[in-house]
Structure 1
Amino acid sequence: MPPRRVITGRSQEPRQRFAEELRSLRMQKGYSLRPLGDRLGWDWSLFGKMENGETLGGPEVVQALDQHYETPGLLLALWELAAGDHKQFRERYRRYMALEAEAVSLWHFAVSVLPGLLQTPGYAREVLAAGGLKGPELEQQVGARMGRRELLEGEDAPPFRTILSEAVLRTAPRDSGEWRGQLEYLAEAAERPNLIVHVLPHSAGMHGLMGAAVMFLRLPEGRTVAYTENGYRGELIEETQPVEKLQLAYDAVRDLALSSAESRKFVLRILEEVPCDPST
């Protein structure tokens, strides 16, 4: 059998191919590493190390690059092949991130923490640290989470609705200054035309989404998928019947929540309760 002909001329070794693709996409955009870091919110040196093959980066970093280069799922797939260890990157979460980048609308319920798409760096850092991350890995994941916020920015950003359990707004970071900044960012975001924020007060009582956060993605072909997550695991749900069941529960919760105008006032009242920094 004759040897297989290499068509692209690029490396057939997964890790090297991943690095080559990153470098090629950046050069097609026509800018250097530092502007790339500025645009996506990471230290530019991380991208340099990824392009040199010194590190693969994390899945959220790669997802942000996929969104930036408008190559939904390509870099994530190459990343998974380069990582070689499927335990490092669960297939369903990889698929969820690719679908999130393609979604034409998103709606969400937060049971305990704000959605990553609306987090500030300080808030994200404390949430991720509480989950056990620390050191360079922590900072890398904070940067990755900030990069994902690009999904909701710009003229073509998809509509996003979130319902926040009151518990989310009553669970503050230790740093009151960071909490103030997060609440101010949330109140500002709630005024964007593509964002709707609801608050579900404690007085609403029990409901069908108390066990986990859930994100719904409406895809270009018209179908909807859901991603549920608790403190220990997440699950992508694509089957029609369970997704519809979750949607019914979500609709019932939305009926119990405050209107968007009332919800913004609720957030501002919480903000007024945050102690001011005496040094300012």
Structure 2
Amino acid sequence: MPPRRAVTGRSQEPRQRFVEELRLLRAQKGDSLRQLGEVLGWDWSLFGKMEAGQTLGGPEVAQALDQHYGTKDLLLTLWELAAGDPTQFKERYRHFMTLEAAAKGIQQYSPAVVPGLLQTETYAHRLLFLGGLAPGAELDQQVEARMNRREILSGDGAPQFRAILDETVLRRALLEREEWQEQLKHLIEVAEQPNVTLQMLPFTAGLRELTNTDTALLRLPEGRTVAWVETGYDGQLVQENAGVERLQFSYDRLRDHALSPRETTAFILRILEEAPCPSADSM
């Protein structure tokens, strides 16, 4: 079969094609970024970031642009392809890590696992292995990179860091008792740092916001806040004000129902004393 001939000469990569269409349609319409923001009701800088490939925006933005340009579902379809492209996750995550390293404040909520910045090497190794990385050089590199990220929380210029952990995080232990005790002790040690606040959301709080969404809110040096949200299958950087505000509101509601830092430390100490013995299969 002969190779497919490029008909339009446009990019075949989903994200880049989305960016190209955004630029072309605005140029054809003759709108400035500010005019686009005024007509559609979003901050004009969002459209600039979308056209620069820095963010995809949300599906509601793509739909609004389709209506404005009269393109039916063209942009929404391209948005879905770009958002679902697995090659984009690593790119988005690298961007998030760059912002995380520069952040002056980090607020984290973890509903299922210990956050990366609080993991021990063993915990990170087992988690990444379960995520699909086979033992070898790539797994070792990923673990090393995660351990290097932990340095963000110490030294000069370390950000103010608050983590809210669902009780599930502290109840779901590693199978090896010594490894789990190491992780629990590490949480207590990190919580003693003056720039770190650790809280737990107990089961007694009932069903709360962000039940299945790992969330990080980053306050950047210029004063704006961005968010990273991640499920077991994908992650997205949220930069538009409305989306960030909704996530901040949900985070604040969680914090209202969380144990105090002192109560959280006491809870972890109790769990540490109860840390399960290794199972027969792991002996």
Q: TM-score, normalised by structure 2?
A: 0.66
Asked whether 1:203 is paired with 2:169, we answer: no
Q: Which residue of 2 aligns with 1:87?
A: 87
Shift of 1:168: 0.3
Asked whether 1:214 is paired with 2:219, we answer: no
Q: Which residue of 2 aligns with 1:251?
A: 252
Shift of 1:253: 0.4
Q: Which residue of 1 aligns with 2:159?
A: 158
Deviations 1:5-61 (A, max 9, x none): xxxxxxxxxxxxxxxxxxxxxxxxxxxxxxxxxxxxxxxxxxxxxxxxxxxxxxxxx
Asked whether 1:143 is paired with 2:144, we answer: yes
Deviations 1:180-215 (A, max 9, x none): 000001011111100000000001001111021100
Asked whether 1:115 is paired with 2:115, we answer: yes
Contact in 1 for aligned 2:89/2:235 (Cα 8 Å): no
Deviations 1:112-157 (A, max 9, x none): 0011001001111111111111222211111111010010111321
Asked whether 1:193 is paired with 2:176, we answer: no
For 1:89 and 1:224, locate their aligned partners in 2 and report how far apart those are by CA, in whole Å.
21
For 2:142 and 2:182, locate their aligned partners in 1 and report how far apart those are by CA, in whole Å.
20
Q: Which residue of 2 aligns with 1:269?
A: 270
Deviations 1:224-257 (A, max 9, x none): 0000011111000000001000100100000000
For 2:274 and 2:89, locate their aligned partners in 1 and report how far apart those are by CA, in whole Å.
40
Contact in 1 for aligned 2:229/2:235 (Cα 8 Å): yes
Of residues 146-155 and 160-169 in structure 1, the stretch that sits farther from structure 2 once superposed is 146-155
Shift of 1:87: 2.4
Partner SS, residue 135 of structure 1: coil
For 1:232 and 1:259, locate their aligned partners in 2 and report how far apart those are by CA, in whole Å.
31
Shift of 1:271: 0.5
Q: Which residue of 2 aligns with 1:105?
A: 105
Which amino acid in structure 2 is aligned with residue 234 of structure 1?
G
Partner SS, residue 252 of structure 2: helix
Partner SS, residue 157 of structure 1: coil
For 1:90 and 1:260, locate their aligned partners in 2 and report how far apart those are by CA, in whole Å.
33
Q: Which residue of 1 aligns with 2:69?
A: none
Give runs of aligned pairs for residues 49-64 of structure 1, distance below 5 A: none
For 1:159 and 1:150, locate their aligned partners in 2 and report how far apart those are by CA, in whole Å.
13
For 2:168 and 2:250, locate their aligned partners in 1 and report how far apart those are by CA, in whole Å.
19
Which amino acid in structure 2 is aligned with residue 121 of structure 1?
E
Q: TM-score, normalised by structure 1?
A: 0.66
Structure 1: stretches of 5+ with no match in the other structure: 1-85
Q: Displaced runs of 4+ in structure 1, greater than 4 A?
A: none
Distance 1:249 1:89, change over 3 A: closer
Percent identical: 52
For 1:239 and 1:142, locate their aligned partners in 2 and report how far apart those are by CA, in whole Å.
31
Shift of 1:90: 3.8
Partner SS, residue 232 of structure 1: coil
Which amino acid in structure 2 is aligned with residue 145 of structure 1?
R
Distance 1:208 1:89, change over 3 A: closer
Q: Which residue of 1 aligns with 2:64?
A: none
Which structure: larger Rg? 2
Shift of 1:274: 1.1
Q: Which residue of 2 aligns with 1:29?
A: none
CA RMSD of aligned residues (A): 1.7
Q: Which residue of 1 aligns with 2:172?
A: 171
For 1:90 and 1:115, locate their aligned partners in 2 and report how far apart those are by CA, in whole Å.
18
Asked whether 1:241 is paired with 2:251, we answer: no
